[in-house]
Amino acid sequence: MTEKVIANASPLDSQERIGVYVCHCGTNIAGVVDVVQVAEWAAKQLKHRGVVIAREYKFMCSSLGQELIEKDIKELGLNRVIVAACSPHLHEKTFRTACANAGLNPFLCEMVSIREQVSWVHTDKAAATAKAKAVISGGVERVRHHVPLEPIVVPINPATMVVGGGIAGIQSALEIADAGFHVYLVEREPSIGGHMAQFDKTFPTLDCAACILTPKMVSVGSHPNITLLTWSEVEKVDGYVGNFTVTVRKKARKIDEELCTGCGICQEKCPRKIIDDVYEAGLGYRKAVYTPFPQAVPNRPVIDVPNCTYYEKGTCKACEIFCAPKAIRFDQQDEILTLEVGNIILATGYDLFDARRVTNYGYGRLPNVFTSLEIERLTNAAGPTNGNIVLRDGKTAPKSVGIVHCVGSRDRNFNNYCSVICCMQSLKFAHLVHERTGATVYNFYIDMRTAFKDYDEFYQRVMEEGTLFVRGKVAEVTNVPRYETEKGKLIIQVEDTLVGKQRRIPVDMVILSTGLEPRKDSKEIAKTFGISCSVNGWFIEKHPKLDPIATMTEGIFIAGCAQGPKDIPSSVAQGAAAAARVLGRIEQKQMALEPVRASVIEEKCSGCRICNGLCPFNAITFHEDRMVTEINPALCQGCGTCVAACPAGAITGTGFSNDQIMAQIEGLMMLNVDQEPVAA
């Protein structure tokens, strides 16, 4: 029986036997659309189009509703099903499964929406009912051209790549590696750790960043299942979910990592001192050969070629002279690695907003204006001042400090989004400054956003400590005094909006709570991995609420700030979640892809190559020998752009073929339904 139905399924043999199922959805639909009339109409007026049965039922998605359909398929030998109910985004799966249970190929079932697109948006019952009929007629005409499809099954390579060695990436890598699968962790900098490694304390608990991060970094470095590729960047991604081929450039460290013992003598002896504007945020110095920080993983230095005297003048080699294991390799070249992985997790993080762009805050012009990252380094015991919070002169402790919120955030002149972490970060600074210097601390905020667990409690605590809060966006920071009391100070000019007056508050130090920005090259990264970016440059998730971890490209997941500003707990959570998704895939060993794909009918292909440039997923290849184009079904994401572009009509798009769309148009226009006026 089942087989028989399948056998009849192709539109070529025998004619269609279509079942139409109209859902009441309680009163959601029935309240506006006369579902009974619609069903009767379909049975009568669409009979000659192959409708053998039309039913209406309270809740089609209920098990009873589904059984109704399954029963008809079996007993009436239906070979097409139309369900007129809610949005296919809600229940398409449900009804396809029902059909499959009854032995009908799931892709011979089509849903049309008469709730989101009819009953919920229209009030005129007659018109709504008429539209429901039109929509159903469209569905019926369309489904006549459906053909049975088989989901595309691809194997999943258990190896996974994690790009970005910040806290989110570290979390993902460890979760997968601990589950017993191999991970390639690719990091652009010489060490993993990311921004978190630069911090001193973390809100709201104030535990030391290094204390909680270092152990994780160490286990990454020593984990048998993790291949750690630091000082490396992804250059190219080929393939598709389950079978990616990733090209990674391992930049020349100029050090033999095997021989090097990480003793550090080379850094000690290197005569060249450079301002470290990555790890030390420009506040401290490093050598031309360096490991960014003592707990670096791997504990192997790199030679900063552009700044190395040897590469400049051809002499020096101080590092080489003193290196006992003889691990210095001035002639070492970049390595290109090709790695096979099944899934990829992008955790590429964020860049800090460049506070110099807000010229009225004076960063870069007024010495004692600092950015949040600079303060992280100042407060850090391992930082350039051993944790002493001092002015730019390197010695004086500030007596009064102003902390400015929303620098570069919530501002149409810069970034119009909220950077999420700044309020809490500012409160943390208030606490640290107060604790270490006893200075008077001001916080200047537009709105206080302390939304998560224990955050508002921390706000309370900082208030108790005596931090002064001023509600108002700081207008300017100036060193031009108007009165005696302002001489030699930085003056913060702001409207205290709760008083309704302009205030000028003299302080010794200003801290700009600078916002988060997408990586400068996030758009290129997105292109490399074939995912999409918001206008700002944050990676776009598959669904903002229900799937903030996957992307529109199968097999590519995102975690941490690359998806949008977030704090450490959220980054860790998202990193773990991404890992869980990947592990799920690996466990299944293979996965089925929606068979909505484009394919070329070689006989028709004229080899004009018009389609060749259109595919952003590189699914289209041209065979010079046969002068025809071919589409790789696993790479194809089914957008259909090439189908629409082919002048010869040689490309077909399964699930959305020209026949199907054309027929649906006729159906919607009620062309095949006589006796029925085209009502609207």
Partner 1 sequence: MTDPFEPTIIGFTCNWCSYRAADLAGTARIKYPPNVRLIRLMCSGRLDPTFVFKALASGADGVMITGCHPGECHYIEQNYKALRRFQLMRRTLQGFGIEPARIRLVWASAAEGAKFASEVTSFIEEVRALGPLHWGKNDSVPTLTEAVIQQEEVPA
Partner 2 sequence: MSDYLLYPGCSMETGARAYYDSLKAISEPLGLNLKEIDDWNCCGATEYFGIRLTPAYALIARNLALAFNQSNGTRSVVAPCSACYLNLEKADYYMREQPKLGRMVNEALATGNLSYVPGSLEIRHLLDVIIYDIGLDVIEKNVVRPLTGLRIAPYLGCMVPRPDYDHRWSDHEYPVELDLLLKALGAEVIDYPLKTECCGGHMTQISPETAFEMIRRLIATADEREADAMVTVCPMCQLNIDGYQGETNRFFGTKYHMPILFFTQLMGLAFGIEPKELGFGLELVSAKNVLDAIGVQAPPETPPAPPRRPRKPEGLPMPAPLINENNIKKALKKEVTK
Partner 3 sequence: MTDVVLVSSSRAPDPNQIEDLTLLEEVASRTAGVSRLEMCIQCGTCGGSCPSAADMDHTPRRLFAMLRAGMREEALKSNTPWICVSCYHCVVRCPQNVHIADVMYTLKGMAMEAHLYQDSTAPDFSQTFVGMVEEYGRSFELGLASQHYLKHFPLRLPSMLPMGMGMLSKKRMNLTPKRIKNIKQLKAILKRATELEDVE
Is residue 412 within the footprint of partner 3 (CB under 8 A)?
A: yes
Q: Fill in the per-residue mask, 260 to 279: x = in contact with partner 2 (CB under 8 A), - = not in contact.
A: -------------x-x-x--
The binder of partner 3 chosen from 62, 333, 360, 590 (CB under 8 A): 360
Q: Closest CB to partner 1 among 263 and 669?
A: 669
The binder of partner 1 chosen from 58, 59, 116, 305 (CB under 8 A): 116
Q: Any idea what the Cα angle at residue 515 is, between residues 514 and 516, rounded to 5°? A: 130
Of 226-234, 366-374, 389-397, 474-482, which part binds partner 3 (CB under 8 A)? 474-482
Distance between CA atoms of 29 and 679, rounded to whole angstroms? 19
Least distance CB 54 / partner 3 (angstroms): 50
Q: How many residues bind partner 1 (CB under 8 A)?
A: 56
Q: List the single partner that 500 binds among partner 3, partner 2, partner 1, none, CB under 5 to 8 Å by kind.
A: partner 3
Q: Fill in the per-residue mask, 379 to 408: x = in contact with partner 2 (CB under 8 A), - = not in contact.
A: -----xx----x-xxxx-------------
* Residue whose structure tokens are 């003193």: 322
Q: List the single partner that 472 binds among partner 2, partner 3, partner 1, none, CB under 5 to 8 Å by kind.
A: partner 3
SS (H, E, C) 323-343: CCCCCECCCCCCEEEEEEECE
User: Which residues between 461 and 520 bind partner 2 (CB under 8 A)?
Assistant: 476, 478-480, 482
Least distance CB 675 / partner 1 (angstroms): 16
β-partners of residue 55 are: 21
Q: Are 164 and 571 in contact (CB under 8 A)?
A: no
Q: List the single partner that 89 binds among partner 2, partner 3, partner 1, none, CB under 5 to 8 Å by kind.
A: partner 1
Q: Closest CB to partner 1 among 122 and 269?
A: 122
Give the sign of the dihedral formed by CA 380, CA 384, CA 387, CA 390: negative
| Run of H or E including 174 | helix 167-178
Is residue 495 within the footprint of partner 3 (CB under 8 A)?
A: yes
Q: Closest CB to partner 2 among 374 and 541?
A: 374
DSSP string for residues in 194-227? TGGGG-SEETTTTEEHHHHHHHHHHHHHH-TTEE
Q: Which two tokens stand for residue 539?
A: 């990676």
Q: How many residues bind partner 2 (CB under 8 A)?
A: 27
CA–chain centroid gap for 71, Å, is: 43
Distance between CA atoms of 88 and 96, rounded to whole angstroms? 10
Phi/psi at 628 (nearest 5 deg)? -130, 160
Q: List the single partner that 275 binds among partner 3, partner 1, partner 2, none, CB under 5 to 8 Å by kind.
A: partner 2
* Residue whose structure tokens are 């199968």: 554
Please report, in angstroms and rounded to a whole number, the separation of the first and last CA atoms in the chain: 42
Q: Closest CB to partner 3 among 396 and 485?
A: 485
Q: List the single partner that 479 binds among partner 3, partner 2, partner 1, none, CB under 5 to 8 Å by kind.
A: partner 2
- 590-629 residues labelled b (16+ CB within 10 A) or e (exposed): ebebeebbbbbeeeebeeeeebeeebeeebbeeeeeeebb
Is residue 616 within the footprint of partner 1 (CB under 8 A)?
A: yes
Is residue 485 within the footprint of partner 3 (CB under 8 A)?
A: no
Q: Closest CB to partner 3 among 185 and 474?
A: 474
User: Which residues between 413 and 452 bind partner 1 (CB under 8 A)?
Assistant: none
Is residue 502 within the footprint of partner 3 (CB under 8 A)?
A: yes
Is residue 543 within the footprint of partner 2 (CB under 8 A)?
A: no
Residue count of the chain, please give it.
680
Is residue 532 within the footprint of partner 1 (CB under 8 A)?
A: yes
Q: Are 420 and 455 in contact (CB under 8 A)?
A: no
Task: Output the CA–CA distances (angstroms, integers) from residue 253 to 190, 220, 300, 599, in the order listed.
Answer: 8, 20, 9, 46
Is residue 664 within the footprint of partner 1 (CB under 8 A)?
A: yes
Q: Closest CB to partner 3 among 351 and 411?
A: 411
Is residue 63 within the footprint of partner 3 (CB under 8 A)?
A: no
Q: Are 571 and 166 in contact (CB under 8 A)?
A: yes
Q: Closest CB to partner 3 among 320 and 495?
A: 495
Q: Are 548 and 541 in contact (CB under 8 A)?
A: yes
Q: Fill in the per-residue mask, 638 to 657: x = in contact with partner 1 (CB under 8 A), - = not in contact.
A: xxxx-xxx-------x--x-
Is residue 236 within the footprint of partner 1 (CB under 8 A)?
A: no
Phi/psi at 462 (nearest 5 deg)? -65, -35
Is residue 446 within the footprint of partner 3 (CB under 8 A)?
A: yes
Of 23-31, 467-475, 608-616, 657-665, which part binds partner 3 (CB under 8 A)? 467-475
Q: Are 291 and 301 in contact (CB under 8 A)?
A: yes
Could you tell me how many helices (H) and strands (E) the chain has, helices first?
A: 17, 34
Phi/psi at 640 (nearest 5 deg)? 90, 5
Of 2, 5, 118, 21, nearest in space to 65 by CA: 21
Is residue 544 within the footprint of partner 1 (CB under 8 A)?
A: yes
Sheet strands side by side (includes 243-250): 232-240, 243-250, 335-341
Residues that bind partner 1 (CB under 8 A): 87-89, 113, 115-118, 120-124, 127-128, 130-131, 134-135, 138, 526-527, 530-535, 540, 544, 552, 596, 614, 616-617, 637-641, 643-645, 653, 656, 658, 661-662, 664-666, 668-669, 671, 678, 680
Residues that bind partner 3 (CB under 8 A): 360, 406, 410-413, 446, 471-476, 493-497, 500-502
Residues that bind partner 2 (CB under 8 A): 273, 275, 277, 282-283, 285, 354, 356-357, 359-360, 363-365, 367, 384-385, 390, 392-395, 476, 478-480, 482
